[in-house]
Structure 1
Amino acid sequence: MALYAELHRHLGGSVVPRVLWRYLQRNESDLIDRFTHYPEFEDFYTRPRNTLDEYLELHTLVEGVQTADALPYFIYRLMRGAYIFENLAYLELRYTPFLRTDPTLTQSERIDQMAQIVDIVGKASQLKEYPIVSSQILCMHSRLPYEVNRALVDLAAQSRDYVCGIDLAGGDAHYAERLDEFVELYAYARSLDLNTTGHLYETTDGHYPDLLPYLMRIGHGIQIPLHHPHLLKEVARRQQCLEVCPTTYLKTGTLQDIRQLKQVFNLCFEAGVDIAICTDNAGLNDVRLPFEYETLLTQDVIGFEELQACQDAAFRHAFAWRYAQRPASLLNRILMTDATAS
């Protein structure tokens, strides 16, 4: 069995349509009243959108459902699918805990409740029957107040048993007006020795070079090789890894053809910049990690050697993977030992 690492998966976008539909049915949610049958819901949930902002609106639908009581239901099914269908050995789940708190509470009370959400997600992710090394990345959000984002960074520093890093999400077109604020928050996070990634250079609106020095990985980053290749030298020098999520760019209208990624991979390989192939929103995108691999291969975006390099890079840049090698190497060693013994 090949065992993979997934570095960029959103908790909100990871819910498979059928799982969400069944949950909404069982809880008599009015969210599905406009859909007569499941195929209509699945089409609405997974169809391509025109822009990233339109695509991200679907997250709000799921975030409202992923309450403290419901999170174990969704996470159990997420982990089961990741283990059985995707052969994942390592998974980082990212989300904004504030958006899973009780909206009837005050902002201060919701900030306090974020620790409970992190604890619920952490415990629900530890499943003996589906042994995956997993950790959380907490997402600051472009549409949340400074006080909430600052508290989120503090929570990440206080929750290292469950949390391996922080992120900035909410659509990269919305950072500009608060750029100094986000630079300050990332500098603060690094002062706390937190691992950092961030949604940058996903779209042509995501050009924020002032944030790059604070990141250990770059969420997406495809516009760097496509439109700002002069930055690749610095990205390589900092040993930053791009988290490339192929299907997302088709779903958001960012790219028109998956083969446009060939330039991304080629220029990054030439510059010595690592890429980890990821799914981003496996449920919204109706895709699993092995399918992303297969699509890139069959569309001649990369070859098998490049794929293996990306798989190796994913483990090398994983924030909570504590081993020097990826699982396949460990299995090879066991097999060689058994062969020698025989």
Structure 2
Amino acid sequence: MTLYAELHRHLGGSVVPRILWRYFQRNRPDISSQFAAYDAFEDFYTRPRKTLEEYLELHTLVESVQTQEALPYFIYRLIRGAYIFENLAYLELRYTPYLRTPEHLPQNERIEKMAEIVETVGRASQQTEYPVVTRQILCMHSKLPGEVNRAIVDLAAQYPEYVCAVDLAGGDAQYRDRLDELVSLYAHAQSLGINTTGHLYETTEGCYPELLPYLMRIGHGIQIPLRHPELLKEVAARGQCLEVCPTTYLKTGTLQEIRQLKTVFDRCFDAGVDIAICTDNAGLHNVRLPFEYETLLTQDVIGFDGLQACQEAAFRHAFAWPHNSQPSSMLSALLRRTRLPRAEAETVEAPSGLINQAWFQ
């Protein structure tokens, strides 16, 4: 059994259509009544959009119901599915906490309530029943005021046990008029010792080299190898990893076919730039991480060696993976212990001695 790491998954887009539909039927009939049946809702929820901006509007549908009271419901099912159906050992969930606070409150009160959201998500993610190492990435948002975004960065620093990084999300075309402010926010995050990633070079509108030096990983980043391959040398020198989410680019109209990603992988591999394959919005796409792997393989975008390199890169660039080795190495050590004579087995230790036995039962 192979265990995987998922580095780029949005809380808002992670809820699979059937789970969201059942929640609407039980708690929000005003939404479910807009659709004749589940099939109509699934078609609406998962169909491709023409632009990234149109695609991002779907997040507001889920954000409106992911209240503090409802978050444990969604997160339990999310972790359960990640463990049972995706073989995830590690998951970073990203979201904007401000957008889970009550809209009727004034801004200062919503900022104060963000801490409660982080604590709720953190507690709900710690599930012994489905042992997945889970951390949060708090997203600044291109449509939020600078005061709110700075509060999000400060909040990330207050909860190291739950939060592993900050991100910048929202429509990337809106970064242009706020570059100085965004650079300042990332510099502030760095001064607090917070890990950084950001939605950058996803579309042709999101190419801002000014922000690249402040990122430890790059959210998407596919336009670097596609349109700005001269930057790959710098990306490799910084040790930055691209978080590539294949299905997203078809859903947003950024790419017309999956095989266009072959250039992304080939140029990155040649330049020594790591890629972690991710899902982005598994619910909106109605797809799981192993399906992303299979699609890339069957469409000849990458081979098995490339796939293994990306899977290893995901654990290597994970902000909060607590072990020195990835699960495959730990499994091999454990299996070796079971095959050796007892006396010899007692002299063999798994890497770091840090194996969670529950993963393998």
How do 1:87-166 residues align onto structure 2 when only pairs under 5 Å count?
A: 87-166=87-166
Shift of 1:109: 0.3
Q: Does the residue aligned with 1:12 lie in a helix, a strand or coil?
A: coil
Shift of 1:31: 1.5
How do 1:311-326 residues align onto structure 2 when only pairs under 5 Å count?
A: 311-326=311-326
Residue number in structure 2 paired with 1:253? 253
Q: Does the residue aligned with 1:236 lie in a helix, a strand or coil?
A: helix
Whole-angstrom distance in 2 between the partners of 1:255 and 1:140:
26
Structure 1 letter corresponding to 2:36 = T
Residue number in structure 2 paired with 1:227? 227
Shift of 1:29: 3.2
Q: Does the residue aligned with 2:99 lie in a helix, a strand or coil?
A: helix
Residue number in structure 1 paired with 2:65? 65
Shift of 1:209: 0.2
How do 1:135-284 residues align onto structure 2 when only pairs under 5 Å count?
A: 135-284=135-284
Residue number in structure 2 paired with 1:37? 37
Structure 2 letter corresponding to 1:93 = L
Structure 1 letter corresponding to 2:34 = R
Shift of 1:32: 2.0
Whole-angstrom distance in 1 between the partners of 2:171 and 2:89:
29
Whole-angstrom distance in 2 between the partners of 1:33 and 1:78:
24
Q: Does the residue aligned with 1:85 lie in a helix, a strand or coil?
A: helix
Per-residue CA distance 1:15-49 (angstroms, 9 max, x = gap): 00110110011014312222010000000000000
Q: Does the residue aligned with 1:218 lie in a helix, a strand or coil?
A: strand
Q: Does the residue aligned with 2:8 lie in a helix, a strand or coil?
A: strand
Per-residue CA distance 1:153-196 (angstroms, 9 max, x = gap): 00000011100000000021110011110000000000101000
Whole-angstrom distance in 2 between the partners of 1:29 and 1:195:
40
Structure 1 letter corresponding to 2:87 = N
Structure 2 letter corresponding to 1:316 = R
Spell out structure 1 runs of 4+ moving beyond 4 A.
Answer: none
Shift of 1:340: 1.5
Per-residue CA distance 1:125-152 (angstroms, 9 max, x = gap): 0111100000000000000000100000
Residue number in structure 2 paired with 1:286? 286
Whole-angstrom distance in 2 between the partners of 1:340 and 1:236:
41
Residue number in structure 2 paired with 1:336? 336
Shift of 1:213: 0.2
Unaligned residue ranges in structure 2 (runs of 5+): 343-361
Residue number in structure 2 paired with 1:76? 76
Structure 2 letter corresponding to 1:199 = H
Whole-angstrom distance in 2 between the partners of 1:179 and 1:341:
62
Shift of 1:251: 0.3
Shift of 1:341: 2.2
Q: Does the residue aligned with 2:340 lie in a helix, a strand or coil?
A: helix
Residue number in structure 1 paired with 2:296? 296
* TM-score normalised by L of structure 2: 0.94
> RMSD over aligned Cα, in angstroms?
0.7
Q: Does the residue aligned with 2:6 lie in a helix, a strand or coil?
A: strand
The sequence identity of aligned pairs, in percent, is 75
Whole-angstrom distance in 2 between the partners of 1:142 and 1:28:
29
Structure 1 letter corresponding to 2:228 = H
Q: Does the residue aligned with 2:5 lie in a helix, a strand or coil?
A: strand
Whole-angstrom distance in 1 between the partners of 2:126 and 2:57:
29
Whole-angstrom distance in 1 between the partners of 2:112 and 2:241:
33
Whole-angstrom distance in 1 between the partners of 2:218 and 2:24:
34
Structure 2 letter corresponding to 1:100 = R
Whole-angstrom distance in 1 between the partners of 2:29 and 2:65:
9
Structure 2 letter corresponding to 1:69 = E
Structure 2 letter corresponding to 1:74 = F
Whole-angstrom distance in 2 between the partners of 1:239 and 1:308:
18
2:49 aligned with 1:55:
no
Structure 2 letter corresponding to 1:202 = E
Structure 2 letter corresponding to 1:183 = V
Q: Does the residue aligned with 2:195 lie in a helix, a strand or coil?
A: coil
Residue number in structure 1 paired with 2:8? 8
Shift of 1:324: 1.3
Whole-angstrom distance in 1 between the partners of 2:66 and 2:117:
10
